[in-house]
Chain A
């Protein structure tokens, strides 16, 4: 039996499947590191990125994971800030998953830099007018604040500070995701960005991604340990939250596009992203909207499948596919629409003028991106083994 520490336990009583999972993730992490070395050694010409699509699949995965990190704190926040006891059992797991997701996302982001060896410069030289520089503080602050939050939850003498730490983490993660969305929202020169809506859109998206990751980790642990961690009440609550958050993301997405469609100057970029822009309309309508939003909501809303763990896990996988699709359209699609330097003119050149971006991701950059997810899962798995993050099984539902 698992070693008990109050109402939580370390991950000790597991079969070989857990080690197989860890081993699999370790292999992917090594492949990711090899990919980063390959890209660094040869230069970025070996990737699908170029001087028009300057941010590609590594950034899609990195931003996806960073946004998810903030959302993974949902369960802890609901417990500490909104004082809902049903979520309290999962608050520790929520915190450590948030830290692991951020670490996974940042690792990918850093390894895709043109000069990752100069990371120390990013830590020592700051331009405080840059939202990117602010984000470096927000990310490191997130690690510290969530770390303290976990400490207050796990150390009895510190329990009295849990509420204040929970509030701090809640506010911090809202600011963090505002900062992440603003990396794009502040890009006033690009038609697809330049909107304050990206900040709340990213916050709503973080709720979806983070909760979906939390659900999948919990269900994987249930499966690995052969125990039941989530009672029916919790499953029902999570089901409702996932539906609400998904509707919120769709709402902000719709408002962003409808607002743009009203302005003549944005008709071009909207047509590109929603109708004729190669893979982007397909990824948007099929990936983000149909498979990644509508289908999981149908699964969750189904009276028989919805309230089950299978329904929850299926919906979570679909929502994460939708999240990656959303990030792909926002990040790569947004860059693919040409800069409007000469309004009213047809522009051509040997460079990017008048051209829709062409981006075919290379295998190494995709592997680097995927390795961020593996790093997240590896770190979470190791953390669960080392400290009592997991709640004890639900009585009578084993």
Chain B
């Protein structure tokens, strides 16, 4: 019952918002109206034909942290202690080749695997993969057992070790639960790109590319088709949707 009521409220809210945006759009910018119309309406399921992914060009990535800073700002996971109890949804990893000494730097976050081990091991099903491939944690049922953190090959998940402050309305967090990169699902559903990608582009580096891996005409698919990409821990066969180039 409550779901139906919520849906009705969502519909009414959506109609109001659509009307408001349409009016403003027609008056101000026709392009913006198109932008809003492509967003996934609330209450509808993610599209299984879509597979969101990221392509990260390491040759364009230096030691800056704009992606990390943007993620913190967007999702409100700023740590307080400066130790390993702090949450970290995305991190910059500095690499040095043991033989050649060549150095590189790259962002690492949840890889949004096609076959995510965190989803496999979660006893209550709180770890889940959306139909469009985005891997999330259902904060309402996560019991905080941390088995998903044991299973993740990328160390991409954080346990909330303390009381949280300054939560974003679009992304509630909870002490005692596990969390990780959501690929900015709230933005993606509104036809926006993830905050990290947007910040990287704005910095002029354009090292990160976001798009639909299942659409052969998307920029990301075209780019992947013409170059050799690297998937971290490809040996595990998890098919991560975050790929790297010029590794």
Q: Which A positions have Cβ atoms within 8 angstroms of B?
A: 40, 42-45, 50-52, 54-55, 113-116, 118-119, 121-122, 125-127, 129-133, 135-136, 183, 186-190, 335, 339, 341-342, 344-353, 358
Contact = CB atoms under 8 A, between A and B. Distances in A.
A356 to B, nearest CB: 12
Contact of A113 (B87, B92, B122, B143): B143
A131 B121 contact: yes
B124 A126 contact: yes
A122 B145 CA distance: 10
Interface in B86-111: 86-88, 91-99, 108
Interface centre among A133, A187, A335, A342 (most CB of B within 10 A): A342
Given A130-B147, A188-B236, A339-B154, A43 B176 contact: yes
Given A52-B84, A114-B146, A127-B122, A44 B97 contact: no
A40 B144 CA distance: 11
Contacts of A187: 150-151
Given A118-B143, A130-B147, A353-B155, A342 B123 contact: no
Nearest to B95: A345
Q: Chain A binding site: helix, strand, loop or mixed by DSSP?
A: loop
B25 interface: no
B93 A133 contact: no
Contacts of B83: 50
Contacts, number: 168
Interface string B175-193: 1111000000000000000
A50 B95 contact: no
What range describes how many residues of B lie at the interface?
A: 35 or more
A350 B145 CA distance: 24
**B-side binding surface: helix, strand, loop or mixed?**
loop
Contact of B146 (A55, A121, A129): A55
Interface of B: 81, 83-88, 91-99, 108, 117, 119-126, 141-147, 149-155, 157-163, 174-178, 232-233, 236
B88 A350 contact: yes
Given A55-B150, A347-B94, A126 B123 contact: yes
Nearest to A331: B150
A189 B145 contact: no
A358 B91 CA distance: 19
A345 to B, nearest CB: 4
B91 A350 contact: yes
Nearest to A357: B84
A130 B120 contact: yes
A50 B161 CA distance: 8
9 contacts: A43-B162, A54-B146, A114-B177, A118-B143, A129-B121, A189-B117, A339-B155, A349-B92, A358-B84
Contacts of B174: 115
Nearest to A43: B162
B159 A115 contact: no
Given A125-B126, A127-B124, 6 more contacts: A52-B84, A54-B146, A129-B121, A131-B121, A345-B96, A353-B91
